[in-house]
Amino acid sequence: MESATVLSSSFAFTSLASSFSGSPFFRIRTRFPFSSRMKGICASQNAPQVEPTKPKEAKLWGGRFEDGVTDAVERFTESISYDKQLYKHDIMGSKAHATMLAHQGLMSVSDRDRIIEGLDEIERRIENGKFNWRTDREDVHMNIEAALTDIIGEPAKKLHTARSRNDQVLTDFRLWCRDAIDNMITRIKNLQASLVHLSLKNEGLIVPGYTHLQRAQPVLLQHLLLAYVEELERDAGRLADCRARMNFCPLGACALAGTGLPIDRFMTSDALGFTAPLRNSIDAVSDRDFVLEFLSANAITAVHLSRLGEEWVLWASEEFGFITPSDSVSTGSSIMPQKKNPDPMELVRGKSARVIGDLVTLLTLCKGLPHAYNRDLQEDKEPVFDSVKTILGMLEVSAEFSQNITFNQERLQKALPAGHLDATTLADYLVKKAIPFRTSHDIVGRAVALCVSKKCQLQDLSLDELRSISTAFDEDVYEFLGVENAINKFSSYGSTGSACVASELNYWVTKLEIR
């Protein structure tokens, strides 16, 4: 019985490990000692044979070390499995660095040219899928530098003059984040344009506006959709601000103290499109504010997209029935044949959690670290890569969903009478009659109570019934009652009045260059 339990637990762990083996977060392969009986069982299950261990390459940093690291340490500390996507930016940084070294007389022009040619060859191999990424070379930087040495020989060893992996990785990372922000802003603009197109298609459509998820006042659908466009504009603005603060160059700060060699940090900064070099070498290699700000901006964007997803999931339900997603952005049920689910927006709502989690991960990572560089900071990249990938997907599918929904005008029309949505407009009418708002509020409240008892709308009350509550009511009161009249009475800047919304829509059509 005991051995059966052990066997069951072992297979359970194997199954669990197998299910996670594709995840970048599950890189450690744990091995348990097996009894001879267990080895026999495993053999009978046709377990894959382990390839003979290849001789390890000496580390580029291993001059003072007599022994190499163990396999477990190598697996645990490698980052090549995910940071290889920095290759373009690493090569870009290395070209700029080599050019500066040659300009400063720290390397010959011919060595610079051979290094650049070798880096071009490595980039071609990577993009053609012919580059051999090696775990024993730890990360993207060591892989590229070692491969460069294989290709061009001795000149490659001069490339790391006056730089450390500390400033190198941060240069690469800032370049990558900069490109990611540009890509994300483009996706945000695409979603904004999709929402504006949806607004243009639904001119004049009135929907119930909600507070506390209770019907409150009538609003134009265009006004509601443009509220999300405004939120997304702030998201794009936060990213642009983050990009501006991020755009300073760490290269040349070296490990933490800078260098005594005659380098020109302004030259490499300009070559890479940075605003300027970072002023303090310790800050340059230990700062992760730019990543924290980036992930914070992403988290806010994710929350906005989640709110949009929640609204549309609610509106697609039978209880609301305000929108119908097309089949192309819906899924069905494996057991209930009648179901049509707005799954993409449910996942948008759900994936916001992981974007928020990525921010919390990095905040927690940084909160107790002393200056300057600590190996903990290797863990900064996976949350950022995950956050960016997730947000880009959320933005893309939200735009796709918005282009494939129909608003059910008949259902919306039937929903509008409920809730006395014109009550506040009626209170405004009384204010125009010189009645204080608090008094107007009380009068309209009593009028609503009368409607509730009569099971009718405010516009259905006779003038005599209204005047029984307040003599301030006159024939012109009916110009303020009903959702259409209520919409027409909104006139303040930024309100849901037809003229205001038309102006707002024209602003976004022009700003987003929508034809």
Contacts of 91 (CB under 8 A, 6+ apart): 119, 122, 123, 144
Q: State the Cα–Cα distance between residues 109 and 373, nearest whole angstrom.
A: 33
C-alpha dihedral sign at 267, 270, 274, 275: positive
Angle between helices 165-201 and 498-511 (to 10 degrees): 140
Q: Which own/partner pairs from 241-246 qualify as long-range (CB within 8 Å, at least 24 positions apart)?
A: 242/181, 242/290, 242/293, 242/294, 242/297, 243/178, 243/181, 243/182, 244/275, 245/289, 245/290, 245/293, 246/174, 246/177, 246/178, 246/181, 246/290, 246/293, 246/294
212 is catalytic: yes
Cα 293 to Cα 284: distance, rounded to the nearest angstrom: 16
Q: Rg of the chain over CA atoms, in angstroms?
A: 32
Q: How far apart are CA 169 and CA 174, in angstroms?
A: 9
Catalytic residue among 36, 212, 334, 453: 212
| Annotated catalytic residue within 8, 108, 110, 333 | 333
How would you write 191-238 as a 3-class SS string?
HHHHHHHHHHHCCCCEEEEEECCEEEEEEEHHHHHHHHHHHHHHHHHH
Structure tokens that stand for 238 in this block: 């936060």
Q: How far apart are CA 301 and CA 188, in angstroms?
A: 9
CA 230 to chain centre: 17
Q: Is 164 a residue of the active site?
A: no
Count Cα neighbours of 373 within 13 Å in the Cβ-side half-sphere: 19
Q: How far, in Å, CA of 424 to CA of 22, rounded?
A: 57
In DSSP notation, 69-116 reads PPHHHHHHH--HHHHGGGHHHHHHHHHHHHHHHHHTTSS-HHHHHHHH
The CA distances from residue 37 to 41, 60, 139, in Å, are: 6, 43, 40
Taking the C-alpha atoms of residue 406 and residue 131, their distance in angstroms, rounded to an integer, is: 49
Q: Catalytic amino acids?
A: 212, 333
